[in-house]
Amino acid sequence: MADTTRTQIETLRQLAKIVNESLDTIEAAYSQAGVALPSLNSPTFSSADPAEVLRTEPAVARATLDIMAAAAQLSAEVCSPLTMVLNASQSFYLASCLNVASELNVVEILKEYGAGGVHVDEIAARSKTETGLLSRILRLLATHHVFREVKPDVFANNRISAVLDKGQSAADLFAKPEERFTKDTGIVALVEYCSDDLLRVSAELTTTILNAQPNVYPYNRAFDTDLPMFYFFQRPENAYKLKRFALGMQGIQTTSSLSEGVLGQSGFEWDTLPADAVVVDVGCGNGHVSLAIAQKHPKLKIVNQDLARQVGLAKQYWETEMPSHIENQRVEFQGDADHDFFQPQPVKNADIFLLRFIAHNWDDVKLAHILQKLRDAAMPTTKLVILDKIQLFAASWEPLLSNWGVGNAEYYYFDMGVHNMLGGGERTLPAFAAVLARAHWRLDKVYRPQGSHQPHIVAVPM
């Protein structure tokens, strides 16, 4: 018993050492840069803040990951298993309360009062909500470090809640709720989509597994539809869902900027492509990924492909952000009247087929079908570039998990999300290699852009 205790205490001390050494790394980086580490209690957040930009520096990013993993494991090591499992079983309340706060524009109300905050009575009056319940919702969030309870029933924004600022006044948001999202509020759209649609869908996971039927996923059960999610979005009554989802996919880049995720250092070398090289963005969504590429590399020709409504959104986005490419006929938009990626690929001269957050939407059979259509249309020199997460195994290192545990939790949340929506999932690198080979592509190289969790998986024709 004593030996076991000593061994366990040594594990805890190793974890604490990781935390302390990582703090030393972060302190040194911020001291050298001459900027202050942001405070959790700050009522504002800006991804352009030099202090936030410094987080993407490799040493700081790794130290942060180590702290997140070690601190969470320390907690799991010492906490009662009963407490851990009960807390996990009720974590959905965090998502539902976060959705309430965003829908009621609490962040925008609190922004008007600064760091001192305001009594919940005022928030309730502005949002036409019952005071007692709203206080309890905000207190649950503050307990998880989203918002700050300055003193009893007085709440203020903190650095985490400020992320959900939609950039408008609370009065304007209440007056025109249909205009609550803009292209700059994708992260809020993503949070609301996850804490609304995905929360509802996740409740159907067990039932779907226990009553398995072909092509019936939790999304189909939750919304009582036999249509795949993306086709369900095409219905006129789901226009808001589609807009929110599309902006949410754009908002994913807020966690690592679009320039870093697609164009950053150590990523795929877009600048090596020749003038007039054709880049086909397969399943382009809002078209923001190919737009970012074209803005930095205007010599390229772009083809955006998706279902009709998504392509319509993409065209509107390009008309606003880069009309010159449209005027010069250097970008083309192909909706499902022209192309469905389960059908033969119409572009036969592509230098690049780009799939960003497409592969994970489909199971291996369907993804192989999509990739085979691209392979059939590929030239010998065509490259397939997949921007998707690569799931890491959770096998144990000592003392940390080899995937950094909760530090990389987004990989596993996304995995469940795409399964529940479409039956897909995130893949390990061996799984990517296998499905590529099934469609006659060979995994050639994996780029890991600095400051991004979004690798670039490059394949060439077999």
Instruction: Indicate which residues carry an active-site annotation.
Output: 360
**Phi, psi dihedral angles at 431 (to 5 degrees):** -70, -40
Parallel, antiparallel, or unpaired for β 301-305 and 278-282? parallel
**E-state strands within 147-210:** 148-151, 154-156
Kind and range of the H or E run holding 71? helix 58-78
DSSP secondary structure code for residue 197 in this structure: I
Residue 449 CA neighbour count, 13 Å, CB half: 24
Q: Are 351 and 277 in contact (CB under 8 A)?
A: yes
Q: Order of strands, edge to edge, in the sheet holding 154-156?
A: 118-119, 154-156, 148-151
Cβ neighbours around 384 below 10 Å, total: 26
Q: Whose CA is closest to 161, among 143, 134, 141?
A: 141
Q: Are 229 and 201 in contact (CB under 8 A)?
A: no
CA distance 31 to 53: 14
Interior/surface letters 310-320, b for 16+ CB within 10 angstroms, e for the rest: bbebbbebbee
150 Cβ partners below 8 Å, 6+ apart?
116, 117, 156
Instruction: Return the residue matching tokens 């010069």.
Output: 328
Q: Are 127 and 109 in contact (CB under 8 A)?
A: yes
The amino acid occupying position 336 is D
> How remote is the C-alpha of 366 from its chain's centroid?
23
